Amino acid sequence: MKKSTITFLVFSIFLSLTVIYGQNSLVVTHGVPILDGVIAPGEWTSTPLVTSGDVTLNAMADGQYVYISASWADETESIQKKEWAYDGSAWSQTGNEDRFSFVFDIGLNGADGASCAAMCHGDGLMRTNNGKVDVWHWKAARGNAIGFVDDKTWDIDDRHSDPGTSAYSNNSDDGSGFPSFMATGDPGAKVSFLTKDADVQAAFDPYSVISPHVYAEAIAFDKAASFSSGDVIPGYIHRIPDGDRASVQSAGKFENGIWTVEFRRAYVAGEFDFVVVPGSTVDFTYEPFDNTGSNHPNDGFDAKVYSLDFTLITDVENNLNSTLPSAYTLYQNYPNPFNPTTVINFSIPESGLVSLKVFNLLGQEVVELVNNVIAAGNYNVSFDASGLTTGMYIYKIQVGSFTATKKMLLLK
């Protein structure tokens, strides 16, 4: 049996300043940008794709991360969502934030596949017509300051956050018309963000991205303080996020009427995140929306579906792995359905004897893909079903006491 190996990338570098209009494919090329919300000359090696909604996209990868940039025009910069302000006698909340969403196909069909990538129902819900999609939800107020992108999943019912802790707490009304001062009730909240302390704010950088915006500033935190007219308090309190919900990082900057956001995510992330597979493509769409006066659940999605194209990427076997997983995970194969090849990814947090097998629906073993002692890491295995007939198959991994199974569909 061939031992599964970590996927790294080798690219033919494709240098061009040509901007492509009217096409649907965004070709990923080799490179590592600086996450600072600025598209510097020569920084991105991909050919920019300008969408039908006048959003300019770039995409690169470096063997560990995929990077995507998005730039679009906006008349105003909105970065203070539900900010509290005191007028001398009462508190009130005003303000909103600019946002941007990528919506990716995650290679699932049937009960898990999405036949609609948009908020296309007219009912105010962010959901699909059927199945699940991977959503990167960038928020100018609640995430941009610390490089956080809210990683979500949409299905036929509604939107859902991926497992983990968000980067913000809602400083909502405490029931008496006053801010609830969430920092007192949330140990993860950063109390210092309620102070005008630039040094403290600048030091809070969990992702080592260069954030162009300072955090929302306010009067010193003291619930018994005497407030003056014009004092403000943030509507949300930042904290350090974790888990799959925090698997995407970014930096966004607004300058001369243009938002530019640069995104970064590892090849393999959570259960409902698309997986980077060399030689494959991933369908996606997007939505930039200015929340000031907009009905964002029903407005703004580009009607076109685009392709994130990894065909310039080639597998290279390598035993290096700089980011060790914290849990055993078996991911959904991609693509799915497939004909005749697909890729199965899995992660193991410690070395052990790994068995990965494929079965038919009668429970009969079709092939054993892995039966080796493997070190901790993230792995992928290519499965060629050329000799099999159309139908549903089950693949199962076993590492010590851990077992997991998933279904995949071969269509010829």
What pLDDT is stored for residue 311 in this prediction? 84
Q: Can you give the three-state secondary structure of 344-400, one letter per residue?
A: EEEEECCCEEEEEEEEECCCCEEEEEEEEEECCEEEEEEEECCCCCCEEEEEEEEEC
Enter the DSSP assignment of 278. T
Q: How many residues does the chain have?
A: 412
- Rounded to whole angstroms, how far apart are CA atoms 223 and 225? 6
Contacts of 353 (CB under 8 A, 6+ apart): 371, 372, 373, 399, 400
Residue-wise pLDDT tens digits, 154-178: 877 777 888 888 888 787 776 767 7
What pLDDT is stored for residue 356 in this prediction? 93
| Rg of the chain on CA atoms, in Å | 23
Cβ atoms of 133 and 167 within 8 Å: the answer is no
Dihedral sign from CA coordinates of 114, 120, 126, 127: negative
What pLDDT is stored for residue 168 in this prediction? 83
What pLDDT is stored for residue 266 in this prediction? 86
Architecture of domain 321-410: Sandwich (2.60)
| pLDDT in 10s for each residue of the chain, 412 residues | 333 332 222 222 222 223 333 468 999 988 888 888 999 888 898 999 998 888 999 999 877 789 999 999 988 888 888 888 888 888 888 888 889 989 887 655 444 444 444 444 445 556 666 667 888 999 998 888 888 899 988 877 777 888 888 888 787 776 767 777 644 444 455 554 555 455 655 566 666 665 555 555 544 445 555 677 887 777 887 777 888 898 999 999 999 999 999 999 988 887 788 888 877 888 888 887 765 444 544 444 555 778 899 888 654 333 334 467 788 989 888 777 788 888 888 888 888 889 999 999 889 999 998 887 777 877 878 888 988 998 889 999 999 999 999 988 888 8
What pLDDT is stored for residue 165 in this prediction? 85
Q: Which two tokens stand for residue 143?
A: 């995430």
What pLDDT is stored for residue 365 in this prediction? 93
What pLDDT is stored for residue 318 in this prediction? 34
Q: Where are the domains of the chain?
A: 321-410
Cβ atoms of 260 and 71 within 8 Å: the answer is yes
Nearest one of 225, 150, 149, 229 to 194, comparing CA atoms? 225
What pLDDT is stored for residue 47 in this prediction? 92
